[in-house]
Amino acid sequence: MIDFYTASTPNGRKVAILLEECGFEYQTHIIDLKVGAQHDPAYRSINPNEKIPAIVDQEGPLGRPVRVFEAGAILQYLSAKVGRFIGNDPITKLECSQWLSLITTGLAPAFVQVYNWSEKFPEKTTDDVSKFGFSLYHEEMLRLVGVLDFRLREYEYLAKTYTIADMAALPWIHRHEYFGFSLDDFVGVKNWYNRLIRRAAINRGLKNPG
């Protein structure tokens, strides 16, 4: 059994997708970010960084419970546990690692900052400053979607096979309308998205939590 601590965000849903793809038995625990539940001492003992997602694998590598936090680390841990979704040869594994790194350190933070600058900037922030912040990160977000598009115009997946890199990127792309861009402007990403969204596990993961 895996205890899965999450909220209704793309960062949480990328792990939900992998849990569904792997077929692991798991229980979802919703962390209410709006009331600051991520700062509760009990949750902090699981994730010292006080963010979601996190998991506790009750059957860890040594047969004892193990906690894992940070979405990228969780994806790598679970894919290693199941022996799938990380590539079947050294080159594909390297490709998976590269794209996963780009998504977790570049793409995802850019999306988060677009959200922050459109929804959460302080009340005293001037219009000029808020417009500058939004524009800066919105341009970076679109640039990085373009990086994915450059790859996906040539390949069906970010690595040569379906991997955790695709699972990490898809929940962000799934919110393209909210983030103000059209998939029609990114043909490679659009074709990739339309292929992946037909996977039953992806649809289940995108609905967890509702």
Per-block average pLDDT, block size 10, for the chain (210 residues)?
A: 97 98 97 96 97 97 95 97 95 97 97 87 68 85 98 97 98 97 98 98 94
Joined tokens for residue 166: 């695709």
Fold of the domain spanning 2-82: Glutaredoxin (3.40.30)
Nearest alpha-carbon partner for 116 in 136, 100, 146, 102: 136
How far apart CA 86 and CA 182 sit, in angstroms, is 29
Listed in order, the ranges of the chain carrying CATH 3.40.30.10 are 2-82
Nearest alpha-carbon partner for 197 in 182, 186, 185, 207: 207
Spell out the residues 6+ positions from residue 68 whose beta carbon is closer than 8 angstroms to its own. 54, 55, 56, 57, 74, 77
Burial class of residue 25 (count of CB atoms within 10 Å of its CB; 0-12, 13-18, 19+): exposed
Nearest alpha-carbon partner for 57 in 88, 81, 36, 41: 81
Burial 167-192 (b: 16+ CB within 10 A, else e): bbbbbbbbebeebebebeebebbbeb
36: number of Cβ within 10 Å: 10
Fold of the domain spanning 90-199: Glutathione S-transferase Yfyf (Class Pi); Chain A, domain 2 (1.20.1050)
Provide the 3-class DSSP secondary structure of residue 2. Answer: strand
One-letter amino acid for residue 123 of the chain: E
How far apart CA 189 and CA 108 sit, in angstroms, is 16
Burial class of residue 159 (count of CB atoms within 10 Å of its CB; 0-12, 13-18, 19+): buried
Listed in order, the ranges of the chain carrying CATH 1.20.1050.10 are 90-199
What pLDDT sits at residue 81?
A: 96
Rg value, the chain, Cα = 17
What pLDDT sits at residue 47?
A: 98
Tokens 């899965």 sit on residue: 4
Contact 110, 144 (CB under 8 A): yes
What is residue 104's DSSP assignment?
A: I
How far apart CA 172 and CA 101 sit, in angstroms, is 15
